[in-house]
Structure formats: C-alpha cells, structure tokens
C-alpha cells in the first residue's frame, strides 16, 4: 500500500492492513519504513511465544503506544522485571479469588437486565450495555465502594487517552525511535494525568482504610509479594498495574459479550439451545459454581473470541536472528501475529468464517492456532476472570431475553487498540418466559 496509505488505513482500522494472503499462507512479509512479517503458522508462533520468548519482546510500537499510560507494568515489562511482577500478581487471579468475586459479576448481570428491560420494546445498543456492565464489575472488584473515587471518571479518562494516543503514528510506521515524541500522544496528556491521579488517590485511600472481609483486586495487589525475592510493588508499580487491569479488564470482556450477542441474534438455533441450557442451570441468577455447568454458553464465548478476538493483532520486535517458516528474521524486524487472520485461516479451520460454537464442544483446536488470551509464559493473567464474567453475564441475558437483528444495523469490526463494533451492536430485544424457551 505504501507508507502513507498504510498509515491512513491503520489509523482508521488496523484490520484493513491485513493482506488477503494472511488467511491463506503461513507467513507474509514486507517493508514500509521497517521490515515486517505476519506469522500465521502455529509452530512458528510457538517458537515466538514459548521457545524463544526473550528474543521476541513486545514491539517498539506497542510500548510507544502504551508505556505512557501503564508504565513498566505486567503488560509492558520484560525479563526479570516482568517475572517478579507476574509472581507477585499471580495469587490475585487464583481460582479461589476469582470465585469470591463471582457475586459482583452476577450483580452486574442483573443490573444490565434491569436496564435492558426498561428500554423495551425499542432497539437496544448492547455494546453500550456490555461496556457498562463489565466496567461495573471492574470498578467493584477494584474499588469495592471503599473509596471516594468516581469510577466513571476513570472510564472517561481511559477512553480519552485511547482516542488520542491509541492510533499508530507515521513515526511508528517509519521505525522512528521511541524517544521521538508522537503528536497524538502529546495531545493526550491531560487524560493521562487524570487517569494516574485517580489511581494514585485510590491506592492511598485504601492504605488508610484497610482491607474488607473479602479482599478485592486492589487489596490483593497491595498485599502481593514475589515469593522468590520478597519484593512488593511500590506506588508507581501498583498504579501502573491497577490501570492495566482496569483497561484490559472491562473493555475486552465487553467486546466478547457484544459480539456474542450479535452472533446469537443471527443464529436463533444457537440462541435457543443456549437459552435452554441457561434456564435449566440457573436458579434465579448465575453463580460462579454455575459456570462449569454451562459448556455450550462457554463454547459460544470461545467461538466469539475466535471470530472477533479483542486483541486482533499483537506484535513483537525481534532481538536476534531467527528463521520462521523458512524466512530470515533480523534483529529490529517487526513480527506480527495477526490473531484475527490466524483465527480465520483456511489451513487451520473448517469453514473459518462460520459461527459454529460446537467446534469447541469436543476436541480443542491446536493451542497455537487459537490465541484469544495469547499463550506461553505471558498468557493473559486474567483469562479465567474474564471467562467466568463473560459466561455469567451471557447466561443471565440469554435466560431472560430473545435477541434478533435489525436490518441495516450490522456493526463494522474496527480495530484501533481493540476490535470494536463500530456503530454499536443494535438488536431487538423481547422478554422470554422460562416455559417458552427453545
């Protein structure tokens, strides 16, 4: 496409720079200002994410986009600095702690149902509702109502930062070093300062107030300690990781739920089957224990994450010479894993563009052909939290409502930092009684 056309396309929708060959070949390479490669081969991806992890750190562009907001947190840090943080934060997302937080997810699902019920019979933007529901979860598991922090201010500041700073710069395309200022990121300074101040104030307030009966995410982070080095996070490290969990913890799950409802609306057989499962399992409202009894609804979430992965592309900057798919990789090359293309690759999936949740009901796909949460040592630390939340909310909604599409209202998948449904997910909603299910 050329440098200028690539920049314009990427700033509007990063998916638009994926070549047609990305779903047909194991690897595609090219050059703008920098050498780049797109890798869709599971063995090569395993090499990058597991076998030679240190040679493929997060790309310079990724760090340039996110470091101003989340510093050297788990998402950005490398090597020993990443390892001790991961060890310190791992207990936060233990099965026990995630299960303890399930009632918060249930409450958010119930509140979303009440809001949707109040809007019937008109069409409802389910994307807006899912963002609110998942942010309510993130806010409650982070702040527990113990501080004076206005969680909506956090949400507004995050959105403002992403709108200004989250777009690829011409300097990124040309391979300029990170110390060269990017204009969009300079313009986002006010939102960034507000975001960090809110987090700092929350941490200080919690230290003064102390922990409640059931520790929330902030309590667990404050108590976190690397079992090997006995190191704990300082204020800056706590803040950066707190912001990482807030940003990653709500929008990604909201996107999965929004796309899942969109897909279910177009396949009433899938929706009826899921509704019957939910109504047979739920006793009034969903609980953490119910999640294991909802395999088909979990399969809907898995298939949605295949078709519409929230992180549609991840990228690395090679640190050493290597060979992937028979091609030479040089230090400094940008090596991308276009997860959106990987999940729709014609050599890896039967009917790759079809919505078929049953493909996740039996034998699971190749581990490195399906990467909604990444893999290897840096697999998303909050994956189990996100999946539990998504199943609880989706089951609650499908047990109570029938969703049908609205002609001419199909959302366009647009990726800036995440894969969002441009225009929202507008669906018709009607209440369904338990005895009318199926």
> Which tokens belong to 83?
């390892």
Using CA atoms, how far apart are residues 233 and 209, in angstroms rounded to an integer?
19
Q: Is 28 strand, coil or helix? A: strand
Query: Max CA-CA distance within the chain?
Result: 63
Residue among 245, 355, 380, 403 flagged as catalytic: 380
> Which is it for the CA torsion 9, 71, 91, 197, positive or negative?
negative
Closest CA to 155 of 125, 124, 186, 194: 194
Q: What are the distances in angstroms from CA 332 to CA 275, 305, 320, 336?
A: 50, 30, 8, 13
Residue 134 falls in the annotated catalytic set: no
Q: What are the distances in angstroms from CA 19 to CA 269, 361, 425?
A: 34, 31, 26
Closest CA to 416 of 166, 171, 173, 169: 166
Residue 264 falls in the annotated catalytic set: no
Residue 32 falls in the annotated catalytic set: no
Query: Which DSSP state fits 50?
Result: I
Residue among 32, 61, 134, 252 flagged as catalytic: 252
E strands in 35-156: 35-39, 124-125
Half-sphere exposure of 94 (CA within 13 A, CB side): 13
Using CA atoms, how far apart are residues 326 and 328, in angstroms rounded to an integer?
7
> Which is it for the CA torsion 96, 384, 227, 246, positive or negative?
negative
Residue among 373, 385, 401, 403 flagged as catalytic: 373
Strand pairing of 401-405 and 426-431?
antiparallel
At 128, give phi and psi (nearest 5°): -60, -45
Burial 385-405 (b: 16+ CB within 10 A, else e): bbbbbbbbbbbbbbbbbbbee
The catalytic residues are 252, 373, 380
């Amino acid at each position: 496409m050329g440098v200028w056309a690539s920049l314009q396309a990427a700033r509007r929708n990063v998916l638009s720079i994926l070549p047609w060959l990305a779903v047909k070949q194991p690897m595609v390479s090219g050059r703008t200002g920098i050498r780049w490669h797109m890798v869709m081969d599971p063995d090569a991806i395993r090499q990058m994410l597991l076998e030679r992890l240190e040679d493929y750190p997060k790309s310079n562009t990724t760090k340039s986009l996110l470091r101003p907001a989340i510093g050297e947190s788990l998402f950005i840090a490398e090597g020993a600095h990443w390892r001790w943080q991961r060890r310190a934060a791992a207990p936060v997302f233990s099965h026990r702690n995630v299960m303890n937080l399930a009632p918060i997810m249930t409450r958010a699902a119930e509140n979303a149902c009440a809001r949707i019920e109040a809007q019937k019979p008109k069409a409802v933007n389910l994307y807006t509702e899912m963002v609110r529901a998942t942010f309510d979860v993130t806010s409650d598991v982070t702040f527990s109502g113990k501080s004076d922090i206005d969680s909506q201010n956090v949400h507004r500041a995050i959105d403002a930062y992403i709108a200004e700073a989250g777009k690829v710069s011409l300097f990124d395309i040309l391979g300029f070093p990170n110390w060269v200022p990017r204009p969009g990121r300079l313009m986002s300074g006010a939102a960034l300062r507000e975001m960090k101040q809110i987090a700092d104030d929350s941490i200080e307030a919690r230290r003064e107030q102390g922990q409640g009966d059931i520790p929330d995410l902030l309590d667990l982070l404050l108590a976190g300690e690397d079992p090997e080095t006995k190191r704990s996070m300082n204020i800056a490290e706590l803040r950066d990781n707190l912001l990482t969990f807030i940003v990653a913890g709500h929008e990604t799950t909201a996107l999965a739920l929004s796309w899942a409802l969109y897909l279910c609306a177009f396949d009433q057989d899938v929706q009826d089957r899921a509704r019957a499962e939910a109504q047979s399992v739920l006793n009034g409202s969903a609980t953490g224990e119910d999640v294991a009894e909802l395999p088909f609804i979990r399969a809907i979430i898995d298939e949605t994450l295949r078709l519409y992965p929230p992180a549609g592309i991840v990228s690395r900057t090679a640190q050493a010479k290597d060979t992937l798919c028979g091609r030479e990789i040089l230090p400094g090359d940008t090596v991308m894993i276009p997860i959106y293309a990987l999940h729709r690759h014609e050599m890896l999936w039967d009917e790759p563009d079809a919505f078929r949740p049953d493909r996740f009901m039996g034998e699971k796909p190749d581990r490195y052909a399906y990467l909604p949460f990444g893999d290897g040592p840096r697999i998303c630390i909050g994956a189990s939290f996100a999946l539990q939340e998504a199943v609880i909310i989706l089951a609650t909604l499908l047990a109570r409502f029938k969703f049908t599409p609205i002609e001419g209202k199909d959302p366009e998948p647009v990726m800036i930092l995440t894969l969002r449904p441009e225009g929202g997910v507008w669906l018709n909603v009607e209440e369904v009684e338990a005895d009318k299910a199926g």
